């Protein structure tokens, strides 16, 4: 019963973390980052401002949603630590969840103070990247809670076969590069380079990646996004050929490939539609889920730099 409630709470917290990421994207896209002026965490120097513009509502809503989900993450972390106090993976995922939600909140405060400076672009990019790590960590903690057997329940777990170090490094390397691609995409958005190539796709006025120009920033992201697509395709082929006995990894790699293809299509539509808000939100959703899926694959295969994973994956067998 305790674990069931914890799982439900984890799902709710994960949804809250997604809403936090999405609302941050809305604030950035609409330029509402200064809707509350330079006050933080309150708005316009007041807890409840007398007058609120649309930008103020968007920015303050984002702060409130982030605060609420941060509180939920704290509860989930402490709760899971208390119930599974001997489980190292639960402790790690809980720590990452709370650490990065605090860190991205601190960066959010800095973006308010550095409005109008070049540093703002980098702070905003880091803010988005850290929010993705927090989102992925909460999702992984929730998934792991579903993998664990009932507290005190006598169910014999099954152990999934281990994978080779080559696949481990491939999965971790692909996830790490995906995170880098996230930053190139965030820099496109925060440097106003979404339409650096106009509405041309895949063509552009330049084919040289150069962060000093908007077309160059756009092309840098396109090259990086294309490469991550090829890497995930290679990963899927490798897994299907060599590791069919690991359905969790096969499904994860397949889902990652579907998501990266959809992500590419959303990126194309973002350009060809002139950066429409709905399309950009779909783009943000897909990259958040893709990074979470790749993080899940990392969790499933374990640490590549250890002779054996810190703990083997145990899944309670189905009763149905």
Active site members: 59
CA distance 237 to 232: 9
> Residues 6 or more apart from 155 whose CB is under 8 A from it?
149, 316, 317
β-strand pairing of 314-315 with 158-159: antiparallel
The phi and psi torsions of 90 (rounded to 5 degrees) equal -60, -45
CA distance 110 to 115: 9
Q: Which two tokens stand for residue 100?
A: 């990065």
State the first-to-last Cα distance of the chain, in angstroms, to the nearest integer.
19
Q: Which two tokens stand for residue 109?
A: 């405060």
Residue whose token pair is 């083997």: 312
CA distance 223 to 78: 41
Q: Would you call 54 exposed, middle or buried from its count of C-beta atoms within 10 A (0-12, 13-18, 19+)?
A: exposed
Tell me how crowded residue 297 is: count the other CB atoms within 10 A of its CB.
24
CA distance 287 to 270: 14
């Amino acid at each position: 019963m305790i674990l069931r409630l914890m799982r439900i709470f984890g799902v709710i917290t994960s949804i809250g973390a997604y809403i936090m990421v999405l609302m941050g994207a809305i604030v950035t896209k609409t330029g509402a980052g200064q809707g509350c002026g330079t006050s933080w965490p309150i708005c316009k120097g007041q807890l409840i401002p007398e007058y609120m513009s649309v930008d103020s509502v968007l920015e303050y809503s984002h702060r409130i949603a982030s605060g609420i989900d941060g509180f939920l993450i704290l509860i989930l972390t402490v709760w899971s630590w208390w119930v599974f106090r001997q489980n190292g993976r639960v402790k790690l995922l809980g720590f990452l969840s709370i650490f990065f939600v605090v860190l991205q909140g601190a960066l959010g405060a800095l973006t308010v103070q550095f409005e109008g400076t070049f540093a703002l672009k980098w702070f905003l990019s880091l803010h988005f990247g850290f929010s993705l790590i927090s989102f992925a960590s909460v999702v992984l903690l929730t998934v792991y809670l579903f993998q664990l057997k009932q507290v005190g329940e006598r169910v014999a777990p099954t152990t999934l076969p281990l994978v080779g170090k080559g696949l481990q490094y491939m999965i971790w390397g692909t996830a790490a590069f995906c995170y880098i691609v996230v930053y190139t995409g965030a820099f496109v958005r925060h440097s106003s380079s979404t339409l650096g190539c106009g509405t041309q796709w895949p063509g552009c006025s330049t084919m040289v990646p150069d962060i000093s120009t908007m077309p160059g920033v756009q092309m840098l992201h396109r090259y990086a996004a294309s490469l991550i697509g090829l890497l995930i395709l290679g990963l899927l082929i490798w897994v299907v050929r060599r590791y069919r006995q690991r359905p969790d990894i096969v499904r994860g790699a397949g889902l990652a490939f579907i998501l990266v293809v959809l992500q590419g299509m959303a990126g194309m539509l973002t350009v060809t539609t002139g950066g429409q808000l709905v399309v950009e939100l779909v783009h943000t959703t897909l990259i958040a889920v893709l990074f979470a899926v790749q993080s899940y694959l990392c969790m499933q295969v374990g640490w590549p730099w250890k002779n054996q994973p810190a703990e083997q994956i145990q899944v309670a067998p189905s009763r149905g």
